Structure 1
Amino acid sequence: MAIHTCSSVSLLIMLFSLGIVATTATVFTLENHCSYTVWPGTLCGNGVATLGDGGFALPTGASVQFPVPATWSGRIWGRTGCNFDASGTGKCTTGDCGGVLKCTGGGAPPVSLVEFTIANNPNEKDFYDVSLVDGYNIGLGVKAVGGKGDCQYAGCVADLNGNCPAELQVTDSGSVVACKSACAAFNTPEFCCTGDHATPDTCSPTQYSQLFKHACPTAYSYAYDDASSTCTCSGSDYLITFCPS
């Protein structure tokens, strides 16, 4: 099977819209259950903008589908409080990607992420997770649809902004809009799993990562939280929900 690069996804989306590849590609469905517009950002593993041209607006109650080729890997996140002009230039309160609508780089922390690596064929395992390693800005969930294997639900349903410790809070106009990771807030090896703490044996959960883990048991809470946070499924489509209930 040919390996699809990020730049080939636009052609795949066109074919998908014509019904040509509807049964051969993994399908991501993104839906917005938030009470406000979310601007999803997407990034392919090699840094080239991909699904939805890298970013777009998703109003309350709306959903959109994208075909995803075999071997695709990348991340999706939700941006909030965005304002863009006709040229796609602007900024977002959270998850901003360089002041543009169509992201060509990652979202600025703190930001909740969903990460995927799609298998080479439907009999092999896809890997996916929801990560709070870069902090939290919005609830996010991933549900496998029609696959086989463990196919666990991954996500963070809880509103961590409402319970964010003062030292991790990001505020805008007096409201907490995001919750930093302890690494971003303090930048020390024990919180960032760097230096002498750069292995699973030397970087243990902290009071802050445990707060995230307690609120969102199926999401990555810190760098070495693999055992309970990495999910697998084979031959599945995926439903990605902003503000899942």
Structure 2
Amino acid sequence: MAASLIPQFLILFILTAAYLFPISVVSTTFTITNQCEYTVWPGILSNADVAPLPTTGFALQKGETRTISPPASWGGRMWGRTHCSEDSAGKFSCLTGDCGSGKVECSGSGAAPPATLAEFKLDGYDGQDFFDVSLVDGYNLPVLVSPQGGSGQNCSSTGCVVDLNGACPSDLKVVSDAGEGVACKSACEAFGQPQYCCDGAYATPDTCQPSSYSLAFKNACPRAYSYAYDDKTSTFTCSSADYAITFCPTPSTSQKASQGQNQGPTTTPPLGATSEGGNDGKSSSPFVDGSMVYGSGELGTNGGMGRTCTHVGAAVSITLAVWRLMQFR
């Protein structure tokens, strides 16, 4: 009689332990901050194979921060919309980064280029998070993505933290009604030619090479994607990190912040000059040079310790109890 009570006791113990000592799961957080001198409306688009986040768009006033907790293995992109307003009929729209929903929430729609994109795939290959900042669809805002904690050989900050709108060539520039430069198109968006868009006969890494336009983006923002196959210097990985996404981080001219990715002052090739990518046949003023990077360690290697799971001892105890229960059968 007593022997038959032992398995029941162990089952009760396991259920009680699981209730009192839950096994915690590492949960990533995104902390989105607006350091611009104006309101930014972040937009969020989840990949097709994952559930959308609870919010897909919202307003961030100057200096405001919002934290979002995505589900495990979430993937998608974030961007900032600017110069947004509602018309008399209540339709919401933005001059840059508009997602076409007619509302503050993007509801499954992506950004109309040009827009600076922060892209993520959490808990991907080998349990790592993959992330990047992309100018493939053009540029509208400085964006910095900084891992908080986490570990990995390539777990460091990335972004495009230079204001490119003022230096954008006229054939790429998007202007407001007041004539202000508010965004900078990619060459693909501006000209629609396959050698810039990496499609058609240029749809492979061997055939689609950097153009003088993408090289100008790359010199200004050496850690950001400048064209579709710019993977080697533009994809970053972390394990068990949270992420701070900052619009308009504080500028500096410190060279040390680039952590070796931009060695010394470089001169951006004039747009239209012959380069490895060929002659674009355009003539415009160049972007700012590659010495414009950001200091205060913002683009430095992340040296923080990774987050750890708690209640590991409880998990081991429960596993041991289950094993013992099997011995009584």
Band the TM-score falls in, shorter-chain normalisation: 0.7 to 0.9
Whether the aligned pair in 2 keeps the contact of 1:82 and 1:92 (CA below 8 Å) is yes
Residues 1:201 and 2:203 are matched in the alignment: no
What SS does the aligned partner of 2:44 have? Answer: strand
Whether the 8 Å CA contact 2:135–2:224 is kept in 1: the answer is: yes
- Are the structure 2 counterparts of residues 38 and 47 from structure 1 closer, same or farther at C-alpha, using a change threshold of 3 Å? farther
* 1:95 paired residue among 91, 94, 97: 97
Provide the secondary structure at the position in 2 that maps to 1:50.
Answer: coil
Within 5 Å, give how 1:85-124 maps onto structure 2: 89-98=91-100, 99-103=102-106, 104-119=108-123, 124=127
**2:141 corresponds to:** 138
SS at match of 2:55: helix
CA distance in 1, matches of 2:131, 2:237: 6
Q: 2:24, 2:83 → 1: CA distance?
A: 34
Render the CA deviation track for 1:106-146: whole Å, top value 9, x for unaligned: 0110000000000069x721000000000000011100011
Distance 1:55 1:21 in 2: 32
Give the aligned length: 225
CA contact (8 A) 2:141 2:247 kept: yes
* Cα gap change, 1:155 to 1:87, in 2 (>3 Å): farther
Give 1:80 deviation, angstroms.
Answer: 0.2
Deviation at 1:51, TM superposition (A): 3.5
CA distance in 1, matches of 2:224, 2:35: 19
* Shift of residue 50, structure 1, vs aligned partner: 3.4
Q: Where do 1:58-207 residues align within 5 Å?
A: 58-84=60-86, 89-98=91-100, 99-103=102-106, 104-119=108-123, 124-149=127-152, 150-172=154-176, 173-207=178-212
Q: Which structure is larger by alpha-carbon Rg, 1 or 2? A: 2
Bigger CA drift: 95-104 or 40-49? 40-49
Q: Which has the higher strand share?
A: 1
Counterpart residue type for residue 26 of structure 2: T
Partner of 1:54: 56
Alpha-carbon distance change, 120 to 218 in structure 1, aligned in 2, over 3 angstroms: closer
CA distance in 1, matches of 2:180, 2:192: 24
Length-normalised TM-score, structure 1: 0.86
User: CA-to-partner distance for each residue in 1:140-194, whole Å, 9 max, x for gaps?
Assistant: 1100011011212110000110111110000002001000000001111110111
Q: Which residue of 2 aligns with 1:43?
A: 45
Quick one: structure 1 residues 88 and 48, their matched pair in 2 at CA, closer, same or farther if it must change by over 3 Å?
A: farther
Deviations 1:43-75 (A, max 9, x none): 110188834521000000010101112110000
Instruction: Give the Cα separation in 2 of the matches to 1:141 and 1:21.
Output: 33
In structure 2, C-alpha distance between the alignment counterparts of 1:144 and 1:86, rounded to whole Å: 41
The worse-fitting range, judged by mean Cα deviation, of 223-232 and 144-153 is 144-153
Structure 1 Cα separation of the partners of residues 143 and 23 of structure 2: 27
TM-score (norm 2): 0.65
Q: Aligned with 2:31: secondary structure? A: strand
Do the aligned partners of 2:124 and 2:130 also contact (CA within 8 Å) in 1?
Answer: no
User: What is the percent sequence identity of the aligned residues?
Assistant: 54
How far 1:235 sits from its partner (Å)? 0.3
1:214 paired residue among 211, 219, 223? 219
Where in structure 1 do 4 or more consecutive aligned residues deviate above 2 Å? 20-24, 47-52, 84-89
Conserved? CA contact 1:47–1:105, under 8 Å:
no
Task: Flag structure 1 segments of 5+ consecutive residues without an equivalent.
Answer: 1-19
- Name whichever of 85-94 and 141-150 sits farther off: 85-94
Query: Which residue identity is paired with 1:133?
Result: V
Equivalent position to 2:233, from 208, 218, 228: 228
Give the match's secondary structure for 2:216. Answer: helix
Contact residue 39 and residue 56 of structure 1 kept, 8 A: yes
Say if 1:88 and 1:125 are closer, same or farther in 2 by CA, change over 3 A.
farther
